Structures are given as structure tokens and as C-alpha cells.
Amino acid sequence: MNLLEVKNLNVEFKILSGRVKAVNDISFNIAKGETVAIVGESGSGKSQTVLASLGLLSENGKASGSVKFEGKELLGLKTKELNKIRGNQISMVFQDPMTSLNPYIKISEQMAEVLTLHKGISKSKAIKQSIDMLDAVRLPDAKQVITRYPHELSGGMRQRIMIAIALSCEPKILIADEPTTALDVTVQAQMLELFKGLTKDFDTSLVLITHDLGVVAGIADRMMVMYGGRMVEKGSVDDLFYSPKNPYTYGLLHSTPHVDEPEKRLEPIDGLPPSLENLPNGCTFHPRCEFRFDRCFKESPPLIKTSDGRSNACFYDGILSKKDKNK
Amino acid sequence: MNEILLEVSDLKKTFAISGGVFTKKQTLTALEDISFSLKAGETLGIVGESGCGKSTLGRCILHLLEPDEGKVIWLGDDLTKLNWHKMRQHRKELQIIFQDPVASLNPRMTVGEIIADPLKTLIPELKKKQRQEKVLSMMKSVGLLPEMISRFPHEFSGGQAQRIGIARALITNPKLIICDEPVSALDVSVQAQILNLLRDLKDKFGLTLIFISHDLSVVRHVSDRIMVLYLGRIVEVAPSGDLYNDPKHPYTKALLKAVPIPDPKKAREKTIEGLAGEIPSPINPPSGCTFRTRCSFAEGKCEKERPIVEDIGRGRLVACHRWKDVS
């Protein structure tokens, strides 16, 4: 069963020089209990896609299309109605654990607020439940920690608290936007293990937004690759890692250094990610693509689903390999 | 074989942390007992998590920070003993590339002025025309177009800005370049371009590099030899391949295990024996071996005695009482 159904989502921002399209016709579903990664570089629209879904766009942003949670349309819903779902059924963990907590308020207050608001339980009960939740995210010495202020805690501890807050109402979907990017690698490993365990224990669906393919490989079931506001490829993690069909996915994989492989020359993608204000005509990736041909300059390839359950938005249907590029 | 360019011995750097009204002054030991040498043409990677002292080390070598104790011998001269004037003569041989490519460029100067600046201050005898020629040829080497010479930094993306930073570092024909997290702020596809560029430039100009990074995959990709730091001390030094295939120190081992591998099958097989806990505060480091609080091999001796950096042959150094039991 699909918990979340996003259809033809578009996000536009008004800026001084006109309008910018940050997300262009994105559709996807999230099923119960699965972990889906949204992968892309800066400006690809991966964060805006989920922010738009939850009505969290900045004031100059406008979303159109449809986002349904358990059949209920979220776009255009009143804030009051939306607040019954946000933080309760769908919750979010942000990238920066340092700035996501209010520095003036004790951890206990910040954690209890979520529960008193959404579940209507008393504060003392809420604090007790919060301590249990901190234990669940394996924060040592939870009883002590909950009485402190955010600045007294390390980055890893704060991120655990953010995760605990996000999970405290037992949401059906947890959205994590670059949750480990600001953390050291040993702490990142702890967090990823934690996410894996928690999604299993609570049967929560996890939407993971990241630029790091290493993180995706270890945790996700499916992945979606975004570029210049569009979705370019979608499929199971194994399919996309071992036989990418879109030249951008292919390029991304070959740009990533592996720690377990001896030195070899990386194969970067030429050029730079596009500016959303000035997207190229035709396929947004064509200026950087090695496999482009006439059609790519004029038409934008639609995302087409193939029989094997994956989707790809590319006109080129040959083999992706450096050797074929000059054909 | 190659001559030794740089020899660092017993380097120590502390920072005074000024106390508040009621708290006393404290000292933070950022680096202690750092000794190593660097051969011409070599790339030494320095890795570690936040607060391990890797950036401080880079800055101490360049005398951008004054070390408390120890020597930095550069081609026979102890840089720590030189006055400002004499140090200046060495500046053109020693250069640095910074992490944040845009912030490290003066926004009011054009690209041409930025790249020419070191020539103006360090090689003032050069005529304007020669300077211009050098700037243009350097821009070509780092992949910048000649027409970009009169543009300003804000017009560039991170990857291009880093190319400008690299051109500025190389313009005086330095022998040694310290790269302080040069690709951390860049997107994956662009990161690969810059890594390949650094490698090509190294061959072209016969450079020696010190490559500082928190990202072990990136460090492995560029380095001949790698030094691992933890809380301001050397824990292990080894040739790149040896370090990854056969780490001797428990910290190196844990660090390598924590790095996510962008390969779903390998990632699933991998069991993350998460390193427990987080990095202790450098203001109040543990007694004896500073890693013992997170180490599964720790025993009584580790609490009392600080392990010395031991030469175990084949170019490998390790600082652990129990390294023989680790592998």
C-alpha cells in the first residue's frame, strides 16, 4: 500500500528576476516500511520536493500538482489541518543538528512539546515517554541529557535527539534531509545503523535525501535520481548502482571514489550543474552529457517506466560506457 | 631516493581558552608530538575527524600559526625560527588551497587580480606583461577560459572558484602545496574534476602535496602515504595501500569500517562495528592513550601510559600498546 503518493509536483519560486522552477513534474510513491533515497547534487530540487510536500516552502515558493498522504490531499490544506499530520504522521529530520534545536529551551521541553501537542498527554507523561525514546535512539544517560540545553551536547547527541523527536509520535513516514552530512564519519556510521534499526522496529517508511551514494548503498531499497529539478532515473538500488541507464546516474557513480578500491582515475562529469534560473533547453543534462545527440538539444526526455519496474528519462538507449561515447 | 623537503619534529600547538568571570583559563592542546618527514614529489594525506588537529597542522607548517614547540625544517631552514622577512622569501615555495573556495577569494578583485596577487607581493621584480602572461597560462592549466580574467568571484560556482584558488596557489611555482579540505564543499561530479586536476597539475609541475581531508575515500584516491590523527596526536602513518588493506591501529580500523561504500552488495555484507561514543573534548583529553575511551582493545596500561609512535618497519608507524593484537 502506498502511504504517500506524489503526482506531477511542480515547485516555483518568485525571485527578483522572474520565476524559477525548482521542481519539475515529479511523481513518486512511498510504500509502507520501505526506505527510499532521493539523490542529487546541490540545486537538483531534492529538498524542495519534500518541503513542498509538507507545505514547508518559503513564502516566495508555490507548489502545484498533488501530494496525497493515505489518500488525503496535502497541497492547499490549511496550516491547522496540516499540523495534525506534520510532526505526527510524517516527521522530518534536518541536516544541521546544531541549528535545528532551540538554544534557549531545555531538551525536555522541546521533546515534550511534540507529545503534548499531538497526543494531548500530560507533560510529566510526555517527559517520561521522551526519555524512553532517547533510550530507543541509544543515547546514553538519557535521564541526565534531557535536563540539559542544546549547547551542552555534541553534534551526534543533538542529531539523536532530533531523530528521537521526529520518532516520538511514531510517524508513518520519516523524512531525513542529509541527516549525516554534518557529522563525523564514525558518528555517521552509528546514525545509519540507528536508522536501519528504527525503520525495522517501528515499521516506518524512510525518505532519505542525500548527495552521498555511499550512504544510499547501505540503507535504501529504492532510489530516485534528480537533476536540474527533474527526476532522471528511478529504480531499485541494485539496478541503478549496477546497471544505470541514465548517463547522469552513470556519471555520478563513476565520479565517486571508493575507499576499498586502489587508486584509479575518477571519471568526472564534465561541466557544472546548471543554474535553475538558466536551465538549458531540451534535456537539462545535455550540455554535460557524453551520449547526447540532436534530439537532446531540442526535446526534454520524459520519464518512461519500463517493464522491469524502473524508470528513465533519456533518449539514448545504447550502452553506457566510455568507449562508446564517440560513436 | 628523493630528497627530503620537509621535516617536522616534535611539533606542539596549544590554544589558550580564555575563561569567563567565574571559570579559570584553560588550554586546549591541538597538536602534540607530531614528527614526520616529506619527500619531494610525494603526496601525504592527513585524515582525522573534526578536532583532530589536521588543519592546525597545515597552518603550523606554513607558519600561519606559531607552534609552541618543535621544528619545521624546510630545505634546511627551521621555519619556526625565521622572522617575517625571511619567511616571506619562502612563501613562494609553500602555498595553500582552502576549503571554502568562494569565501577564500576577495570579492572585490577580478580573477586576474586574485591570481596575480601572489606574484605582485612575492616576486615584485616581474614586469606587468610577464605577470599577465603567467596568469593566462596558469588559467589555462587549471581549466579556466581566458575571457574569465576580468570577472569577479561571485560569478563563479564552487568548482570554478576552487580552480581560481588552485591557480593562485600555483602561480609562484611552489614546491609544496597544502590542500586543506579542497573538495569538501563541492558536488560529487565536480569534486572528481578537481581531484583529477590536482593530480595532473602535480605531475605537470612536479609538486609535493599535503592533502588534508576528513574523507577517507578521497584521501586514498590521491595519497601515496597517509597519516591518521586523533585528538592532536599521530595514531598511524603508512603507505596508502597498506593502511587500507592492513590497518594496525584500532582507530584506523574503526575509521575505515565506518566509511560508507557506494556498492549496495558490499554495503549490505558489511557489519558496522560502530565505534562507541564520540570524540572526547581536546580541552580535557583522557589520560594515557587518548583513544582508550572508545577502544575495544583498551587495558590497564592504556590508561596510565601514553603509547609512543613506534616504527614497525616498511615505512609504517603506529602508536598503540596493543597493535600486535589488533591485526
Q: Do A255 and B264 touch (CB under 8 A)?
A: no
The pLDDT, as a whole number, for residue B44 is 97
Rounded Cα–Cα distance for residues A30 and A37 (Å): 11
- Provide the whole-model pTM: 0.88
Query: Which residues in chain B have Cβ-Cβ distances shorter than 8 Å to A268?
Result: 189-193, 195-196
Three-state DSSP state, B225: strand
Q: Which residue has the cell 579540505?
A: B181
CA distance B225 to chain A (A): 12
Measured in degrees and rounded to the nearest 5, phi and psi for residue B30 equal -85, -35
Chain B residues near residue A213 by CB distance under 8 angstroms: 188, 262
Could you report the per-residue pLDDT of B15-28, keeping only the tens digit for each?
A: 988 767 777 778 88
Of B160, B221, B275, the CB nearest to A263: B221
| Sign of the torsion angle spanned by Cα atoms B53, B56, B60, B62 | positive
Cβ atoms of A262 and B243 closer than 8 Å:
no
Q: CA-CA distance, A40 to A49, in Å (whole number)?
A: 12
Neighbours of A263 (CB within 10 A): 14
Arithmetic mean of pLDDT over chain A:
90
With CB atoms and an 8 Å threshold, state whether B258 touches A185.
Answer: yes
> pLDDT tens digits for A119-133?
999 999 999 999 999
Banded pLDDT at A263 (limits 50, 70, 90): low
Q: Report CB contact under 8 Å: B192, A266.
A: yes
Question: How large is the average pLDDT for residues A58-84?
Answer: 93
Q: How confident is the model at residue B71 (pLDDT cuts 50, 70, 90)?
A: very high
pLDDT over 60 (residue A324): no
- Pick the more confident residue, B50 or A225: A225
Q: What is the pLDDT of residues B129-149, one digit of tens each?
A: 999 999 999 999 999 999 999
Chain-chain contact of A255 with B189 (C-beta, under 8 angstroms): yes
Q: Which helix (H) or strand (E) element contains residue B221? A: helix B216-222
Is B33:B69 a contact under the CB 8 Å cutoff?
Answer: no
Report the pLDDT value the prediction gives residue A98, as an integer from 0 to 100. Answer: 75
The ranges assigned to domains in chain B are 4-19+26-93+174-245
A179: which chain B residues are within 8 Å (Cβ-Cβ)? none
Mean pLDDT along residues B203-209:
94
Q: Where in chain A are the domains?
A: 2-75+204-326
Q: Is the pLDDT of residue A3 over 90?
A: yes
**Phi, psi dihedral angles at B306 (to 5 degrees):** -80, 125
> pLDDT-based confidence at A198, cuts 50/70/90?
confident
Q: Is the pLDDT of residue A327 over 60?
A: no
Residues of B whose CB is below 8 A from A266: 192, 195-196, 221
Q: Across the interface, do B196 and A265 touch by the CB < 8 Å criterion? A: yes
pLDDT at residue number A146? 94
For B81-124, how does the pLDDT look when each residue is reduced to its tens digit (9 = 90+)?
988 888 888 999 999 999 888 889 999 999 999 999 999 999 99
State which CATH number among 3.40.50.300, 3.40.50.2000, 3.40.309.10, 3.40.50.1700 fits the domain covering B4-19+26-93+174-245.
3.40.50.300
pLDDT digits (tens, 9 = 90+) for B210-226: 999 999 999 998 999 99
Q: Which three cell numbers stand for residue A202?
A: 517501528
Instruction: Please state at what angle helix A155-167 crosses helix A123-136, rounded to 10 degrees.
Output: 120
Is A256 within 8 Å of B261 when comparing Cβ atoms?
Answer: no
Which residues does chain A have within 8 Å of residue B263's beta carbon, measured at their own beta carbons?
Answer: 217, 241, 258
Average pLDDT score over residue span A233-257: 95
Q: Is B77 exposed, middle or buried (0-12, 13-18, 19+ CB in 10 A)?
A: middle
What is residue B272's predicted lDDT score, i.e. its pLDDT? 63
Q: If you measure CA to CA, which chain B residue comes closest to A223? A: B264
What pLDDT shows up at residue B202?
93
Confidence of residue B227 (pLDDT cuts 50, 70, 90): very high
Percent of chain A with pLDDT over 90: 66
Q: In CATH, what class is A2-75+204-326?
A: alpha beta
pLDDT of A325 strictly over 50: no
pLDDT at B206: 92
For residue B280, how many other CB atoms are within 10 A of its CB? 18
Three-state SS string across chain A, please?
CEEEEEEEEEEEEEECCEEEEEEEEEEEEEECCCEEEEECCCCCCHHHHHHHHCCCCCCCEEEEEEEEECCEECCCCCHHHHHHHECCCEEEECCCCCCCCCCCCCHHHHHHHHHHHHHCCCHHHHHHHHHHHHHHCCCCCHHHHCCCCHHHCCHHHHHHHHHHHHHCCCCCEEEEECCCCCCCHHHHHHHHHHHHHHHHHHCCEEEEEECCHHHHHHHCCEEEEEECCEEEEEEEHHHHHHCCCCHHHHHHHHHCCCCCCCCCCCCCCCCCCCCHHHCCCCCCCHHHCCCCCHHHHHCCCCCEECCCCCEECCCCCCCCCHHHHHC
User: Does pLDDT of A326 surpass 60?
Assistant: no
Measured at the CA of B279, the angle between CA B275 and CA B281, to 5 degrees, comes to 160
pLDDT per residue as tens digits for the range B260-310: 999 999 988 876 666 777 788 888 889 999 999 999 899 999 999 999 999
Does A201 or A73 have the greater pLDDT score?
Answer: A73
Question: For position A285, what pLDDT does the model report?
Answer: 95
Span A56-71, average pLDDT? 94
Q: Compare CB distances from B258 to A189, A251, A269 and report the shortest one's residue.
A: A189
Sheet strand arrangement including A72-73: A18-31, A2-15, A61-69, A72-73
Cβ of A192 within 8 Å of Cβ of B260? The answer is yes
Across the interface, whether the CB atoms of A266 and B195 are under 8 A apart is answered yes
